[in-house]
Amino acid sequence: MAKPDKVAAVAEIADRFRTSSATVITEYTGLSVSQLSQLRRALGTSAKYRVAKNTLVKRAAQDAGIEGLDELFIGPTAIAFVEGEPVDAAKAIRDFAKDNNALVIKGGYMDGRALSVEEIGQIADLDSREVLLAKTAGALKAKLSQAAALFQAPATQFARLAAALQEKRGEGAEPAEAPAES
């Protein structure tokens, strides 16, 4: 008979798997409680970092319909359930792992498939959503400015041509001197 607290834990982890946009699975051996707290602060609101027993996580992943992660649930396991932008969470975990060699990224899960460590690194190298949107807006604005200049160029050239023609006529057609009065 399953214990109610374990059934509740499996249900909660399975729900997190279903509602998360991505997950990053890590090994945390050697990290102190203060370092884990520091990692949780680095993740902020973009992800929830949870330490869990492998048997419970395997059962929860199976309940959530997630496949291909069983080989990652060996040794001490902690999972970052990404609720926001996967790029931000991947960067926070990667940067923390660079500073703390005890944190090892094992893999992850996103968009219906398992992710390797290299793929998580590639996600972490991407710009955040806000930066990509800003770059897109800047590129669109630049193209619109180029189009406006292109459409305005013929009118500007015509105005310069008319001014030059008027200036030329003004130089060549000096008003005749008035006849001398007798």
**H-type helices in 20-128, by residue range?**
33-43, 54-64, 86-99, 117-125
Residues 120 and 136 placed together within one structural domain of the fold: no
Look at residue 140 and tell me if it is in a domain. Answer: yes
Q: How many domains is the chain built from?
A: 2
> Is residue 103 located within the same domain as residue 147?
no
Task: Dump pLDDT digits (tens) for 75-112.
Answer: 888 999 998 788 888 998 999 999 888 889 999 999 88
Domain that holds residue 83: 4-126
Give the residue-averaged pLDDT of 6-11.
Answer: 88
In a domain, 118, yes or no: yes
Give the pLDDT confidence of 110-155 residue by residue, as tens digits. Answer: 988 888 989 988 888 887 777 878 888 888 888 888 877 777 777 7
Q: pTM, whole model, 2 decimals? A: 0.68
For the four alpha carbons of 9, 10, 11 and 17, in that order, the dihedral sign comes to positive
Q: Which residue has the tokens 């009118």?
A: 155
25 DSSP β-pair partners: 79, 107
Q: Note whether 50 and 13 are within 8 A (CB).
A: yes
Among 88, 110, 126, residue at a domain's last position: 126
Name the phi and psi angles at 26, rounded to 5.
-130, 165
